[in-house]
Chains A and B, each alone.
Chain A
Amino acid sequence: MRKRVKSSEQQFLFDLQQQQRKRFQIVKWLGVLIAFSVVIQALGLAKVFAELVLEGSFPLNAALLAGAAFLFKTVMQYVREQICATASRTIRFSLRKRVVEHLTHLGPNRLQIDEDAGLSTRVYEQIDALDDYFSRYVPQVFLVLFIPLTILIAVIPVSLIAFFIFALTAPLVVFFMVLVGHKAANANRKQFKVLSLLSNQFMDLNQGMAELKRLGQTDLARERLSLTASEYQKTTMGVLRLAFLSTGTLELFSSVAIAMVALYLGLGLLEQLPWQIGIAPVSLFTAFYLLLLAPEFYLPLRQLGSDYHAKQKAEAAATNLQQVFAVEPSDLKTTFSSTAPLKQENSPLIQFEDISWSTAGRMRLTDLSASIAQGERVWLRGESGAGKSSLMSILLGFDQQFNGQLLIQGQPFNASMLNEWRRRLAWLPQTPEWIQGTIRQNLELGLGKCDDAELRNTLIKAQCWDFVDGLRFGWDTPINEAGTGLSGGQMQRLSIARALLSQADVWLLDEPCSGLDSETAGQVLNTLDEVSSGKTVLIISHDTHPVIWADQKWLMKEDGVYVEA
Chain B
Amino acid sequence: MSKHNPQSLTFKSLLLDNPFGLLVALLIGIVGSLAAVALLGISGWFLSAAGLASAMGTAFTFNYFTPGALVRLMAILRTAGRYGEQVFSHDHLLGLLRSLRLWIWDQRVNTPLNQVHRQTKGDLLQRLVGDLDQIIKWPLAVVMPWVYGLLGCIALLTLGVWVEASLVWPIITYSIMQLLCLPWLAKQLAMSSVYSMQALSVHRRSRFMSVFSALITLTIRGHWQHYSERLTQLDEKQRKLQAQLQRVTSLVKLLGHTMTLLLVGVMFALCLSVENESLAIEPTISATWLVALVLATLGVNELMQPIASAFLAQGQSKVGLKRLNQLQRSVLETADKSKSLPSIKSLNVRNFAGSHNDVVSSALPSVNFTISSNEQIKIVGASGAGKSTTLAALAGDLGYRGEVRLNSAPVSVYDNSCWREKVSYLSQQSVIFQQSLRSNLLLGKPDATETELFDVLQLLGLKTWVDALPSGLDTLLGGQGRDISGGQARRLCLARILLRKAPTLILDEPFDGLDSDSVDRVCKALERPLYKPQFLIYVSHIDSPLDRHSALVAL
Interface, chain A (partner B; CB < 8 A)? 45, 49-50, 52-54, 56-58, 60, 63, 67, 70-71, 74-75, 77-78, 81-82, 85-86, 89, 93, 96-97, 100-101, 103-104, 107-108, 110, 116-117, 119-121, 123-125, 198-218, 220-222, 224-226, 229-230, 232-233, 236-237, 240-241, 244-245, 247-248, 251-252, 255-256, 258-259, 262-263, 265-267, 269-272, 280, 283-284, 287-288, 291, 295, 396-397, 419, 422-423, 425-427, 429, 433-437, 445-447, 467, 470-473, 477, 480-482, 484-485, 487, 489-490, 498, 502, 517-520, 523
Interface, chain B (partner A; CB < 8 A)? 39-40, 43-44, 46-48, 50-55, 59, 62, 64, 67-68, 71-72, 74-76, 78-79, 82-83, 86-87, 90-91, 94-95, 97-98, 101-102, 104-106, 108-109, 113, 116-118, 120-122, 124-125, 128-130, 201, 204-206, 208-224, 228, 231-232, 235-236, 239, 242-243, 246-247, 249-251, 253-254, 257-258, 261, 264-265, 268, 272, 278-281, 283, 287-288, 290-291, 294, 356-360, 363, 383-384, 388, 395-397, 415, 417, 420-421, 423-425, 427-428, 431, 433-435, 443-444, 446, 479-480, 496-497, 500, 509, 512, 541-542
Q: Which 6 A-B pairs have the closest CB atoms?
A: A485-B356, A284-B51, A446-B221, A482-B117, A58-B279, A255-B75
How far apart are A511's CB and chain B's nearest CB, in angstroms? Answer: 12
Q: Quick check: A425 and B291 within 8 Å, CB to CB?
A: no
Do A53 and B52 form a contact, CB below 8 Å, given A104-B228, A199-B129? yes
Do A291 and B431 form a contact, CB below 8 Å, given A54-B55, A210-B116? no
How far apart are A444's CB and chain B's nearest CB, in angstroms? Answer: 10
| B125 nearest in chain A by CB position | A117
Q: Which residues of the other chain, B, contact A212 by a CB distance below 8 angstroms?
A: 443
| A280 nearest in chain B by CB position | B54
Q: Quick check: A517 and B512 within 8 Å, CB to CB?
A: yes
| A483 nearest in chain B by CB position | B117
Q: Quick check: B47 and A78 within 8 Å, CB to CB?
A: no
| B446 nearest in chain A by CB position | A220
Cβ-neighbour of B431 out of A57, A211, A445 (below 8 A)? A211
Distance in angstroms between the alpha carbons of A518 and B513 in the assembled complex: 9
Distance in angstroms between the alpha carbons of A427 and B294 in the assembled complex: 74
Q: Quick check: B59 and A58 within 8 Å, CB to CB?
A: no
Q: Which residues of the other chain, B, contact A487 by a CB distance below 8 angstroms?
A: 384, 388
Do A120 and B209 form a contact, CB below 8 Å, given A225-B102, A263-B68, A263-B71? yes
Q: Quick check: B359 and A271 within 8 Å, CB to CB?
A: no
A-B contact pairs, 14 of them (CB 8 A): A53-B288, A74-B254, A77-B253, A117-B209, A204-B479, A205-B105, A216-B420, A220-B443, A240-B90, A251-B78, A255-B76, A258-B75, A470-B359, A484-B359
Do A214 and B395 form a contact, CB below 8 Å, given A202-B101, A423-B220, A446-B223? yes
Q: Quick check: A213 and B59 within 8 Å, CB to CB?
A: no
Q: Which residues of the other chain, B, contact A518 by a CB distance below 8 angstroms?
A: 512, 541-542
Q: Which residues of the other chain, B, contact A248 by a CB distance below 8 angstroms?
A: 79, 82-83, 86
Distance in angstroms between the alpha carbons of A124 and B204 in the assembled complex: 9
Do A259 and B210 form a contact, CB below 8 Å, given A52-B291, A248-B83, A287-B47? no
Q: Which residues of the other chain, B, contact A200 by a CB distance below 8 angstroms?
A: 434, 479
Do A237 and B384 form a contact, CB below 8 Å, given A222-B106, A252-B79? no
Q: Quick check: A270 and B64 within 8 Å, CB to CB?
A: yes
Q: Which residues of the other chain, A, contact B268 by a CB distance below 8 angstroms?
A: 58, 63
Cβ-neighbour of B383 out of A237, A263, A295, A519 (below 8 A)? A519
| B51 nearest in chain A by CB position | A284
Q: Which residues of the other chain, B, contact A435 by a CB distance below 8 angstroms?
A: 210-211, 213-214
Q: Quick check: B98 and A229 within 8 Å, CB to CB?
A: yes
Distance in angstroms between the alpha carbons of A498 and B214 in the assembled complex: 12
Distance in angstroms between the alpha carbons of A103 and B534 in the assembled complex: 55
Q: Which residues of the other chain, A, contact B116 by a CB distance below 8 angstroms?
A: 209-210
Distance in angstroms between the alpha carbons of A546 and B396 in the assembled complex: 36
Distance in angstroms between the alpha carbons of A295 and B379 in the assembled complex: 82
| B114 nearest in chain A by CB position | A485
| B205 nearest in chain A by CB position | A120
Q: Which residues of the other chain, A, contact B254 by a CB distance below 8 angstroms?
A: 74-75, 77-78
Q: Quick check: A446 and B94 within 8 Å, CB to CB?
A: no
Q: Quick check: A82 and B250 within 8 Å, CB to CB?
A: yes
Distance in angstroms between the alpha carbons of A511 and B116 in the assembled complex: 28
Do A103 and B280 form a contact, CB below 8 Å, given A214-B397, A472-B358, A480-B117? no
Q: Quick check: A52 and B125 within 8 Å, CB to CB?
A: no
| A93 nearest in chain B by CB position | B239
Q: Which residues of the other chain, A, contact B280 by a CB distance below 8 angstroms?
A: 56-58
Do A209 and B444 form a contact, CB below 8 Å, given A53-B288, A429-B216? no
Do A108 and B216 form a contact, CB below 8 Å, given A75-B254, A213-B113, A518-B541? yes
How far apart are B472's CB and chain A's nearest CB, in angstroms? Answer: 21
Q: Quick check: A208 and B433 within 8 Å, CB to CB?
A: yes
Q: Which residues of the other chain, B, contact A470 by a CB distance below 8 angstroms?
A: 359-360, 363
Distance in angstroms between the alpha carbons of A490 and B363 in the assembled complex: 15
Do A204 and B434 form a contact, CB below 8 Å, given A81-B246, A287-B47? yes
How far apart are A287's CB and chain B's nearest CB, in angstroms? Answer: 5
Distance in angstroms between the alpha carbons of A488 and B13 in the assembled complex: 43
Q: Which residues of the other chain, A, contact B397 by a CB distance below 8 angstroms?
A: 210, 213-214
